Amino acid sequence: MARFDVFAARGMSRRTVLGAGGLAAASALLPAGALAQQSPRSGGRLIVAADSEPRNLNPAIVASNGVFFVSSKVVEPLAEADFGTPDGLAPRLALSWTGSADGRSATFTLRPNVTWHDGKPFTSADVAFSAMEVWKKLQNLGRVVFADLESVDTPDPLTAVFRFAKPTPFQLIRNALPALTAVLPKHLYEGTDINANKANAAPVGTGPFRWGESRPGEYTRLVRNPSYWSAGQPYLDEIVYRVLPDRAAASGALEAGEIQLAAFSMVPLADLARIAKVPGLDVITRGYEALTYQLVVEVNHRKPELADVRVRRAISHAIDRDFVARTIFVGFAATSSGPVPRNDPQFYDAAAQVPAFDPARANALLDEAGFKRGANGMRFKLRLLPAPFFNETRQFGAYLRQALAAVGIEADLVNNDSAAHTKAVYTDRAFDLAVGSPVYRGDPAISTTILVQGGLPPGVPFSNQGGYQSATMDALIAKAATTIDEAQRTALYREFQQLVVTDLPLINVAEWGFTSVASNKLRNVTSNPRWAVSNWADVWLAP
């Protein structure tokens, strides 16, 4: 599992956890009292801000952070991301995992004495059912990783052997374990319409917390699982997700002591300098290292002007990435050099660099492509659709409109809500440029290749709906997907990065993690690189 630096604002006066050089490096930035932590204290209610209420809370079907934020406390994966282990993974429902040399099988030894929340025993049959019937058939990203999964053998209740029809890189399987292997109870799902099963809204799992109740528009409550497999955990009695769709309200609720945690940058970045000075609150950037978001300009290659790579290069040259990171993200982002984040040491290629900010070069390329300025100073017009998912993507859309105008490209800004934006870009393909925010999940095969891969049918969200077609690109993606040798596979993905920054099927701009604002009584807020979407079994509240 890749690890990388987190982006911190300058001048924070309270706790701001920086970097991914290990827990020791981070601890140097903690207040002195945190270095000598007390023993964990059992009990207490953690109230968390939530800005949405996913209807489907089944993480085996919907691998998204909005779902994981709640469901990861209830439904567990085979393994979780970890700061300190050689492969970046910590056991959950699996204790160990090995892959065959030919890439045709992967064997998981499962944790004994685990029960579902309804008291039934967890066994390899649950893993086999989840893999074959859910991850492979229904899950958005699992369809890629487990596309060639042929069967899952269960020689005993604690062994699951995955068998693949074609060589499947174990490196990919291993990297996918935290996000893509949430295990469901076979006895509740077998023989049902899995997508319509009532347990999707009130999940049953093996995790440290059980489903409690939900009141739409108000809250979701999880309660302590007294039969959890990790003795003595969880420490909290309950977790309450309070619905606060207005992000500004999260700041007020924190200051009033009504909630103890606002994760996923629920507090607007512009407010952090002020909130960091509030007694009793900490601003924290660690705990998101495996959840990098990427700011990209999506390109509709069906537009004649955009089909010319010189125009795409000109657009890249028109973007001042330093300004974007410094001003729009107020320092909580890094400039992007290509499709793999620079903070992923496993795959990142430093030699792959997008065309840098150079308006003079942008103008020259547009002239060379035959798009001269008209009497009004403009060359041609585009429709620009910024994703509405974050304030920053909307703000970047406004900035990009100005940046394009500076080189003679007129952009009509079209702002939609989330549903309309998704339909316009990924189903109707009714855009010229769009601002996107895909998530990098530690491996290009489940993160970035789908953004540039050809032949995808309409309606596949967060994918290449711009119509980019390259036989070279598609062949490279296909080869990397079946290359077993890890060094060779890594080399192929570095070649992939070079091709992306040369041909520019899309344009990478920035990459960022999130921030949490938490009560300073909350402990173990950053214990793994996917902390916000992990199980919180070790989280506790100091008196």
Reference 67, options 171, 144, 179; nearest CA is: 179
In 234-347, alpha helices (H): 247-255, 272-275, 309-317, 321-323
Q: pTM for the full model?
A: 0.85
Cα separation, 301 vs 307, in Å, equals: 5
Instruction: Indicate the length of the chain as a whole number.
Output: 543
Pairing of strands 79-81, 89-91: antiparallel
User: Could you list the pLDDT tens digit for every one of the 543 residues in the chain?
Assistant: 332 232 233 233 333 332 322 222 233 333 433 433 579 999 999 999 998 888 899 999 988 888 999 999 999 999 999 998 988 999 999 999 999 999 999 999 999 999 999 999 999 999 999 999 999 999 978 888 999 999 999 999 999 999 999 999 999 999 999 999 999 999 999 999 999 999 999 999 999 999 999 999 999 999 999 999 999 999 999 999 999 988 788 999 999 999 999 999 999 888 898 999 999 999 999 999 888 999 999 999 999 999 999 999 999 999 999 999 999 999 999 999 999 998 898 899 999 999 999 999 999 999 999 999 999 999 999 999 999 988 899 999 999 999 999 999 999 999 999 889 999 999 999 999 999 999 998 899 988 999 999 988 888 888 999 999 999 999 999 999 889 999 999 999 999 999 999 999 999 999 999 999 999 999 999 999 999 999 999 999 999
- Looking at 333-379, which runs of residues are DSSP E strands? 334-335
Task: Compute the chain's Rg from CA coordinates.
Answer: 23
Q: What is the pLDDT of residue 38?
A: 74
**Sequence-distant (≥ 6) Cβ neighbours of residue 314 within 8 angstroms:** 361, 362, 363, 365, 366, 369, 407
Q: What is the pLDDT of residue 84?
A: 87
> Under a CB-based contact definition with an 8 Å cutoff, are residues 324 and 396 in contact?
yes
- DSSP, residue by residue, 447-495: TTGGGT-S-PPTT-SSS--S----HHHHHHHHHHHT---HHHHHHHHHH
Joined tokens for residue 117 = 């929340």
- Residue 270 has φ and ψ, to the nearest 5°, of -65, -20
**Sequence-distant (≥ 6) Cβ neighbours of residue 69 within 8 angstroms:** 50, 241, 263, 264, 532, 533
Residue type, 426: Y
Residue type, 428: D
> Under a CB-based contact definition with an 8 Å cutoff, are residues 524 and 534 in contact?
no
Cα separation, 277 vs 448, in Å, equals: 38
Q: Which residues pair with 156 in a beta bridge?
A: 159
All structural domains of the chain, each given as residue ranges with its CATH number in brackets, are: 23-51+207-286+515-541 (3.40.190.10), 79-196 (3.90.76.10), 292-512 (3.10.105.10)
Give Cα 189 to chain centroid, integer Å. 27
> Under a CB-based contact definition with an 8 Å cutoff, are residues 152 and 163 in contact?
yes
Residue type, 523: R
Cα separation, 190 vs 211, in Å, equals: 20
Q: Which helix (H) or strand (E) holds 299?
A: strand 292-299
Q: What is the pLDDT of residue 416?
A: 94
Q: Which helix (H) or strand (E) holds 361?
A: helix 359-368
The 10 Å Cβ neighbour count of residue 402 is 10
Whose structure tokens read 């309409």? Answer: 458
Task: End-to-end CA distance of the chain: give it in Å, rounded.
Answer: 35
Q: Looking at beta carbons, which pairs linking 499-503 to residues 24 or more positions away fall under 8 Å? A: 499/470, 499/472, 499/473, 500/338, 500/339, 500/352, 500/452, 500/473, 501/337, 501/338, 501/339, 501/352, 501/353, 501/354, 501/355, 503/309, 503/470, 503/473
Q: Torsion angle, CA of 131/134/135/140, rounded to 10 degrees?
A: 180
> Under a CB-based contact definition with an 8 Å cutoff, are residues 295 and 319 in contact?
no
- Ramachandran class of 245: left when φ > 0, alpha when ψ lies in -120 to 50, beta otherwise: alpha
Whose structure tokens read 């596309």? Answer: 147
Q: What is the pLDDT of residue 245?
A: 85
